[in-house]
């Protein structure tokens, strides 16, 4: 099963902290790949929080096509990180031309757009680039979003990290999520690597979701162009989160009520029974069938973790004010934040959602049997 | 018959009949039980004369051969088409010495060419006389293995309920909850529904047994099983009882019993589970219901609000409305209105290549609470043989097309589809039901399987028995003759209903658990299905496996 690690810290951290945590959990994954999600960036991106950053992998030809394409729309490069890699990649890592992390300046006419329109256009553009890349196999695009960087690559996570110099100052961030892959497919498609991202929401999952096909069919039939891809059965978790928060206006506290709704007896005695019963019915095709543990990041930089009742080995969250981490295994947490009050470590059970808000001061646990926050139940 | 007598075109021999009675003189004790029990008087006491030749011992060339005639009694099978043996084997069941048994003819019978005396084509009860079907060939191939653990069917918790009712899209639903708008009624029910078999088609003991079983399943075992009344009204006592909530009231084009139902509304303690508007039936698509006069006794007449002893054909369509779209919309709306918009109302149609158009209409009707489709293998109490054998659409592709169409318009969770017609016809009830659910049905309706498992119906796809239409059901299932239906004990039927639902439930878990599914019914989980026929796989959009 894949191993997951996420950390949020007041002080910017090097992604190496997370990679080391993955490394101590390496028994659980086969080192077939790594995915990295960085947000609340420090370094040079600190001062350009609004500029959309394009992350991806390009061939030289692809880069040329990208430049022409972006130029055409009016996007100007504002800043870029150039990753100069050694001539020969480590064993198992493919040779690539360019790992791209580039912040753009919006075209002038985009400045009048409402936030929603802006977000929709950014999404559209990312999908378009992805499609162009798939046609000629010359670009892979992970994210195109302000204050977010994503890097994914095949190979041993530690070796990839060294090869791509993850410890460089420019990649320091306050929120970092990473996954060490356990490969279940023969040919690894980078679009199947976690974390997944859509319009500011990102999640990564371990486990298998057997209800994947009906969920995928439901999402793709929502008429929203972003609900596409699905090279991995875990991508639906990100999209469900996005659907629930943007389309239904619900908070993260309701996420579990959508993917793993309460069973009838518990539902009946819940103070928000009426709302939850309706939610359970109308979102029935979004009910997952795990075992799954999901770690996610919200646009406000909160991190959270949930699991379903079939997950026998729950993940863990722990830390200290100012720095908290979510991990598939306790040893990962120990590696990243050794000096913490371990008695406060928390393993969310099947009813719990563990949330660390943007202030990073505490772990908030909300149980599915608790009343929903007033804004939702009103 | 003597060899020098003329033969008419319809003069048949025993060999020409579909069933031949084998009778063993050595075993027979001449008790007469078989002739008494035979529902169609196919056998009678026979007096046989036999010649005995007994040459005297020793050689006497002048002597004559001793020759004698003896009589013996036995069973004779009639060859008049009106008294043809239907193979029910009741004679065999009652024979104390196993001296008699019907055997299927080794070739196609000649009787079939003579079943239209007086220009009246054959009518019968039962089902299509074709024994195989695609459902049995579908396998469940996505077994959870190393990447995700399969579940323990015996110990895990499963949520296998389904929804009957119009489900709003999530955003609208939440808005209506907040603004206290009208949210259509939705029932959470067990996905195996006892399909419409009317009081009238079924005997009072059978009906009571089914209702008892359903009540027990609900109240004692917490299994929310529902049963449809079929077209024939509902006994007053049930209408006014709390058990009505387990009942789906069916209204069909004859509106039989609806006067009584409407009048009972003010006295109802509970709302019915739902209202099913029957537009068609898989066994005889495009043909109305039919209760033949034999079965219309005083009780049936009272429940249906008709005189006794008359044929009760329902028109093929709902006659009171001008166009079909209007009919559907208005019927649905009036039925909602009758119960104050608290009861889901949905149409039931026979499987047809136009099902998509029907569904299309329903998607635009905010009240339509679902669609039940009854495939060509559906059964009936009475229909023309030709309708049963040759009319209708197979259920698998009909359901699949409808589901995929709903997916296309994003309404797969809004209008639940219910599939019926031949589910479990070869005994594989659970596998067939699960296959239909994974093809996209929210639940399945069964009738014949219930009659066979809960009451010992003898009917088969090889045309055994199938005389449900004439009120002579030898098992007392579809008869209104007290001498026959007393053979059936309502409590025994109830017990069997409970048995069959419990075993279905266990088997369903044995199917979904290895697929790693437990938190919701795997509606539309077509990635789990495979079939060893490329064309069928392509048609149903499931995996082709060999
Ligand atoms: S099998 Fe049935 S119909 Fe035939 S002779 Fe026996 S009892 Fe009569
Ligand atoms: S046993 Fe009764 S219900 Fe079954 S086929 Fe015969 S007549 Fe019909």
Q: Is the CB of B215 under 6 A from ligand 1?
A: no
CA-B88 nearest atom, ligand 1: 2
Determine contact, residues B27/B17, Cβ cutoff 8 Å.
Answer: no
Could you please report the per-residue DSSP string of B66-134?
PEEEEEEEEEEE--SGGG------HHHHH-TT--EEEEE-SS--SGGGG--GGG---EEEE--S----S
More confident residue, B454 or B66: B454
CA-B459 nearest atom, ligand 2: 5
* Residue A358 pLDDT > 90: yes
More confident residue, B303 or A74: A74
CB–CB contact B412 A308 (8 Å):
no
In chain B, residues with a C-beta closer than 8 Å to the C-beta of A282 are 167-170, 173-174, 413
CB–CB contact B516 A208 (8 Å):
yes
Which pLDDT score, from 0 to 100, does residue A330 have? 92
Q: Is the CB of B397 under 6 A from ligand 2?
A: no
Q: How far is B527 from chain A (nearest CA, A)?
A: 7
Question: Ligand 1: distance of its center to the CA of B26 in Å?
Answer: 20
The Cα A202–Cα A150 span in angstroms is 10
Across A49-59, average pLDDT: 94
Q: Is the CB of B86 under 6 A from ligand 1?
A: yes
Q: For tokens 């992805």, name the residue.
A: A130
Locate B346 and state its tokens: 């949905």
The Cα B169–Cα B149 span in angstroms is 32
Is the ipTM beyond the 0.85 threshold?
yes
CB–CB contact B170 A184 (8 Å):
no
The Cα B120–Cα B117 span in angstroms is 6
CB–CB contact B408 A248 (8 Å):
no
Least confident of A119-123, B325-329, B360-364: B325-329
The Cα B67–Cα B78 span in angstroms is 30
How many CA atoms does the CB half-sphere of B156 hold within 13 Å?
A: 26
**Chain A residues with CB within 8 Å of chain B CB:** 184, 207-208, 210-214, 217-218, 221-223, 247-250, 260, 263-264, 274-275, 278-279, 281-285, 287-291, 308-310, 378
Q: How far is B163 from chain A (nearest CA, A)?
A: 8
Least confident of B50-59, B403-412, B416-425: B50-59
The Cα A51–Cα B416 span in angstroms is 46
Which pLDDT score, from 0 to 100, does residue B146 have? 65
* Residue A374 pLDDT > 50: yes
Which pLDDT score, from 0 to 100, does residue B286 have? 82
Mean pLDDT of chain A: 91
Give the pLDDT band of residue B1 (cuts 50, 70, 90). low
Query: By alpha-carbon position, which residue is closest to atom 4 of ligand 1?
Result: B85
Q: How far is A217 from chain B (nearest CA, A)?
A: 7
The Cα B449–Cα B470 span in angstroms is 21
Question: Ligand 2: distance of its center to the CA of A130 in Å?
Answer: 63
CB–CB contact A284 B527 (8 Å):
no
* Cα Dmax for chain B: 116
Which pLDDT score, from 0 to 100, does residue B4 have? 78
Percent of chain A with pLDDT over 90: 71
Q: How far is B189 from chain A (nearest CA, A)?
A: 12
Query: By alpha-carbon position, which residue is closest to atom 7 of ligand 1?
Result: B38
Give the chain A residue nearest B187 (alpha carbons).
A281
Question: Ligand 1: distance of its center to the CA of B197 in Å?
Answer: 25
CA-B41 nearest atom, ligand 1: 8
**Domains of chain B, residue spans:** 14-115, 134-455+489-544
Q: Which of A207, A282, A287 sits opposite B520 (nearest CB)?
A: A287
**Domains of chain A, residue spans:** 3-49+147-377, 50-146
Q: Is the CB of B38 under 6 A from ligand 1?
A: yes
pTM of the model: 0.94
CB–CB contact A282 B157 (8 Å):
no
* Residue B207 pLDDT > 90: yes
More confident residue, A31 or B204: B204
Which pLDDT score, from 0 to 100, does residue B262 have? 94
In chain B, residues with a C-beta closer than 8 Å to the C-beta of A250 are 174
CATH 3.40.50.1000 fits B14-115, yes or no: no
Percent of chain A with pLDDT over 70: 96
* Residue A189 pLDDT > 90: no
Give the pLDDT band of residue A29 (cuts 50, 70, 90). low
Which pLDDT score, from 0 to 100, does residue B381 have? 87
Q: Is the CB of B85 under 6 A from ligand 1?
A: yes
CATH 3.30.70 fits A50-146, yes or no: yes
CB–CB contact A308 B159 (8 Å):
no
CB–CB contact A275 B410 (8 Å):
no
CB–CB contact A284 B520 (8 Å):
yes
Handedness of CA A299, A300, A303, A305 (dihedral sign): negative
Least confident of A17-21, A89-93, A278-282: A89-93
Question: Ligand 2: distance of its center to the CA of B457 in Å?
Answer: 5
Query: By alpha-carbon position, which residue is closest to atom 2 of ligand 1?
Result: B88
Q: Is the CB of B90 under 6 A from ligand 1?
A: yes
Q: Which of B184, B193, B181 is nearest to B414 (CA)?
A: B184
Percent of chain B with pLDDT over 70: 96
CATH class of B134-455+489-544: alpha beta
Domain A3-49+147-377: CATH superfamily is Aminohydrolase, N-terminal nucleophile (Ntn) domain (3.60.20.10)
Give the pLDDT band of residue B179 (cuts 50, 70, 90). very high
* Residue A312 pLDDT > 90: no
In chain B, residues with a C-beta closer than 8 Å to the C-beta of A264 are 188
* Residue B222 pLDDT > 60: yes
Contacts (Cβ under 8 Å, ≥6 apart) of A61: A136, A138
Q: How far is CA B378 from CA A26, B225, B356, B374, B444, in A?
A: 57, 20, 19, 6, 12
Which pLDDT score, from 0 to 100, does residue A257 have? 96
Q: Which of A370, A355, A351, A259 is nearest to A305 (CA)?
A: A355
pLDDT tens-digit readout, B341-388:
999 999 999 999 999 999 999 999 999 999 999 999 999 988 999 999
Q: Which of A302, A344, A357, A305 is nearest to A328 (CA)?
A: A305
Ligand 1: residue of B40, B41, B74 to mutate (most ligand atoms within 8 A of CB) is: B40
Q: For tokens 């049905």, name the residue.
A: B441
Q: Is the CB of B125 under 6 A from ligand 2?
A: yes
Which pLDDT score, from 0 to 100, does residue A12 have? 95
Locate B153 and state its tokens: 């069917």
Mean pLDDT of chain B: 92
Beta strands B417-420; B371-374: pairing state: parallel
Q: Which of B178, B186, B518 sits opposite A289 (nearest CB)?
A: B518
The Cα A267–Cα B1 span in angstroms is 76
Q: Is the CB of B454 under 6 A from ligand 2?
A: no
How would you label A274-283 residue by residue, b for 16+ Cβ within 10 Å and e otherwise?
Answer: ebbbbbbbbb
Determine contact, residues B527/B142, Cβ cutoff 8 Å.
Answer: yes
Ligand 1: residue of B35, B38, B39, B99 to mutate (most ligand atoms within 8 A of CB) is: B38
Determine contact, residues A190/A140, Cβ cutoff 8 Å.
Answer: yes
Give the pLDDT band of residue A378 (cuts 50, 70, 90). very low
Which pLDDT score, from 0 to 100, does residue B302 have? 87
Q: Is the CB of B494 under 6 A from ligand 1?
A: no
In chain A, residues with a C-beta closer than 8 Å to the C-beta of B142 are 210
Q: Is the CB of B102 under 6 A from ligand 1?
A: yes
Q: How far is A205 from chain B (nearest CA, A)?
A: 13
Which pLDDT score, from 0 to 100, does residue B144 have? 86
Which pLDDT score, from 0 to 100, does residue B63 have? 64
Q: Which of A56, A44, A336, A38 is nearest to A173 (CA)?
A: A38
Across B253-281, average pLDDT: 93
Ligand nearest to the Cα of B202, by number: 2
Across B192-214, average pLDDT: 95
Least confident of A127-141, A158-172, B144-158, B440-454: B144-158
**A278 φ, ψ to 5°?**
-65, -40
């Amino acid at each position: 099963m894949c191993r997951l690690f996420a950390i949020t810290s007041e002080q910017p951290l090097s992604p190496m902290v997370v990679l080391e945590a993955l490394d101590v959990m390496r028994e659980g994954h086969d080192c077939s790949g790594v995915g990295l999600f960085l947000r609340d960036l420090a370094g040079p991106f600190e001062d350009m929080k609004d500029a959309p950053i394009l992350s991806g992998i390009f061939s030289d030809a692809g880069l040329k096509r990208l430049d022409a394409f972006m130029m055409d729309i009016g996007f100007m490069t504002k800043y870029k990180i150039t990753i100069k890699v050694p001539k020969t990649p480590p064993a198992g890592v493919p040779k690539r031309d360019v790992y791209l992390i580039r912040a753009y300046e919006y075209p002038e006419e985009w400045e009048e757009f409402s936030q929603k329109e802006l977000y929709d256009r950014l999404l559209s553009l990312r999908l378009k680039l992805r499609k162009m890349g798939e046609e000629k196999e010359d670009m892979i695009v992970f994210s195109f979003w302000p204050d977010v960087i994503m890097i994914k690559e095949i190979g041993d996570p530690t070796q990839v990290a060294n090869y791509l110099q993850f410890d460089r100052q420019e990649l320091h961030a306050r929120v970092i999520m990473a996954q060490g892959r356990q490969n279940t497919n023969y040919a690894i498609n980078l679009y199947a690597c976690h974390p997944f991202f859509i319009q500011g929401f990102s999640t990564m999952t371990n486990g298998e979701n057997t209800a994947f096909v009906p969920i995928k069919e439901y999402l793709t039939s929502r008429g929203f162009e972003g609900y596409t891809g699905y090279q991995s059965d875990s991508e639906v978790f990100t999209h469900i989160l996005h659907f629930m928060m943007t389309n239904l206006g619900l908070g993260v506290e309701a996420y579990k009520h959508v993917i793993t709704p309460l069973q009838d007896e518990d539902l009946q005695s819940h103070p928000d029974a009426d709302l939850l019963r309706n939610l359970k019915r109308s979102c029935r095709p979004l009910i997952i069938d795990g075992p799954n543990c999901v770690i996610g990041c919200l646009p406000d930089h909160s991190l959270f973790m949930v699991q379903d009742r079939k997950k026998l080995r729950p993940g863990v969250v722990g830390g200290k004010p100012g720095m908290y981490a979510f991990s598939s295994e306790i040893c990962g947490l120990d590696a990243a934040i050794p000096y913490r009050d371990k008695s406060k470590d928390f393993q969310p059970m099947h009813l719990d959602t563990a949330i660390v808000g943007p202030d990073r001061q505490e772990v908030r646990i909300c149980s599915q049997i608790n009343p929903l926050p007033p804004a939702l139940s009103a | 018959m003597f060899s020098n007598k003329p033969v008419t075109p319809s003069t048949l021999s025993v060999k020409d009949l579909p069933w031949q009675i084998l009778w063993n003189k050595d075993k027979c004790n001449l008790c007469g039980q078989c002739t008494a029990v035979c529902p169609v008087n196919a056998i009678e006491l026979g007096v046989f004369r036999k010649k005995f030749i007994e040459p005297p011992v020793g050689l006497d060339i002048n002597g004559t051969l001793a020759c004698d005639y003896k009589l013996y009694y036995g069973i004779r099978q009639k060859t008049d088409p009106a008294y043809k043996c239907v193979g029910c084997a009741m004679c065999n069941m009652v024979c104390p010495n196993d001296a008699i048994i019907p055997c299927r003819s080794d070739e196609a019978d000649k009787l079939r060419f003579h079943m239209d005396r007086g220009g009246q084509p054959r009518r019968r009860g039962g089902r299509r006389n074709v024994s195989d079907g695609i459902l049995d060939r579908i396998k469940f191939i996505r077994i959870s293995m190393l990447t995700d653990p399969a579940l323990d069917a015996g110990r895990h918790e499963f949520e296998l309920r389904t929804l009957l009712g119009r489900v709003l899209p999530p955003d609208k639903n939440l808005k209506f909850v907040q603004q206290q708008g009208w949210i259509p009624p939705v029932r959470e029910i067990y996905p195996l529904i006892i399909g419409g078999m009317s009081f009238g088609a079924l005997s009072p003991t059978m009906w009571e047994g089914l209702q008892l079983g359903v009540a027990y399943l609900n109240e004692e075992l917490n299994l929310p099983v529902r049963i449809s009344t079929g077209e024939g009204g509902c006994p007053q006592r049930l209408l006014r009882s709390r058990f009505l909530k387990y009942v789906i009231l069916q209204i069909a084009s004859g509106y039989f019993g609806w006067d009584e139902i409407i009048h009972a509304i003010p006295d109802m303690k509970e709302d019915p589970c739902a209202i099913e508007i029957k537009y068609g039936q898989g066994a005889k698509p495009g043909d109305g219901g039919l209760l033949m006069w034999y079965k219309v006794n005083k009780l049936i007449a009272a429940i249906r609000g008709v005189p006794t002893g008359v044929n009760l054909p329902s028109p093929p369509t709902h006659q009171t409305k001008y166009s079909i779209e209007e009919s559907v919309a208005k019927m649905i709306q009036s039925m909602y209105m009758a119960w104050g918009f608290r009861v889901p109302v949905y149409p039931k149609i026979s499987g047809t290549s136009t099902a998509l158009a029907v569904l299309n209409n329903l998607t635009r009707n905010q009240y339509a609470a679902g669609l039940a489709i009854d495939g060509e293998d559906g059964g009936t109490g009475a229909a023309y043989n030709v309708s049963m054998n040759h009319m209708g659409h197979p259920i698998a592709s009909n359901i699949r097309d409808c589901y995929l169409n709903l997916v296309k318009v994003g309404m797969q969770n809004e209008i639940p589809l219910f599939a019926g017609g031949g589910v479990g016809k070869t005994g594989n009830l659970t596998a067939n039901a699960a296959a239909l659910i994974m093809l996209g049905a929210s639940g399945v309706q069964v009738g014949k399987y219930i009659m066979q498992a809960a009451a010992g119906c003898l009917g088969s796809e090889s045309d055994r028995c199938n005389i449900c239409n004439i009120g002579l059901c030898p098992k007392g299932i579809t008869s209104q003759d007290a001498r026959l239906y007393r053979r059936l004990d309502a409590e025994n039927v109830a017990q069997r209903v409970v048995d069959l639902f419990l075993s279905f439930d266990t088997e369903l878990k044995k199917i979904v658990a290895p697929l790693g599914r437990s938190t919701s019914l795997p509606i539309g989980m077509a990635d789990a299905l495979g079939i060893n026929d490329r064309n069928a796989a392509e048609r149903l959009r499931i995996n082709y496996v060999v």
